Chain A
Amino acid sequence: MLLEIVISLFILIGAAFALIGSIGLARLPDFYMRLHGPTKATTLGVGGLVIASFLYFSHGWEDVSLHEILVTLFLFITAPISASLASKAALHLKLRSLAPAPETIAKQEDAADPAGERQG
């Protein structure tokens, strides 16, 4: 019974993280922000579901199932690689970020505070 509650908790946490990552992918305004949702939240969501499945198929540690570890290992190795490649492709295509360039930020701060007395 306790095991079932723990498994249900992990399933809900995993599905919630996957859903949040996908909402981030759909809703965030520019590509470099959108990259954050799937690479972190969705991978963590799959991790939660895989832990739930590991607990479910291990039957109280009698026959530990190792397929889950394989899936997790592969996914956790490949997700950062594909995110890095996608961001490289975006930089190569010169996609614009919505964030202002560093020089503009410095200029704005100088305009707001001309004496240069920045308050930390």
Chain B
Amino acid sequence: MLNLVIPVALAMMTVAMALNLWRVVRGPDLPDRIIGLDTLYVNTIALLVLFGIGESNAVYFEAALLIAMMGFVGTVALCKYLLRGDVIE
């Protein structure tokens, strides 16, 4: 059953990430692009977790945790730059 479900879920996550990428490229304003990147990294975490289940390998969680931390720092830095014109004052 998992053999059937995991490729379907991988396809759904791929479509979701393609939509996020479309928003990043298209996005009329800068906050749209930031939110697109933010959703892209959240979906990357989901994809890695899914891939870890598919491969029966728990190592992928380290990568997911790293992406979670780096992605959050990146989003905060971009938002701070838009808000204050500087990242670290």
Contact = CB atoms under 8 A, between A and B. Distances in A.
Interface of A: 4-5, 7-8, 11-12, 14-16, 18-19, 21-23, 25-26, 31, 34-35, 37-38, 42-43, 45-46, 49-50, 52-53, 56-57, 65, 67-68, 70-71, 74-75, 78-79, 81-83, 85-90, 92-93, 95
Given A25-B35, A71-B45, A95 B29 contact: yes
Interface of B: 1-2, 4-6, 8-9, 12-13, 15-17, 19-20, 22-23, 29-32, 34-36, 38-39, 42-43, 45-46, 49-50, 52-53, 58, 61-62, 64-65, 68-69, 72, 75-76, 79-80, 82-83
B38, B46, B53, B76 interface centre (most CB from chain A within 10 Å): B46
Interface majority SS (helix, strand, loop, mixed), chain B: helix
- Dominant SS among interface residues on chain A: helix
A19 B16 contact: yes
A93 B29 contact: yes
Contacts of A74: 65, 68-69, 72
A23 B19 contact: yes
A50 B22 contact: no
B15 A86 contact: no
Nearest to B35: A86
15 contacts: A8-B5, A11-B5, A12-B8, A18-B46, A22-B39, A25-B20, A25-B36, A26-B19, A26-B23, A49-B50, A71-B64, A82-B72, A86-B75, A93-B29, A95-B29
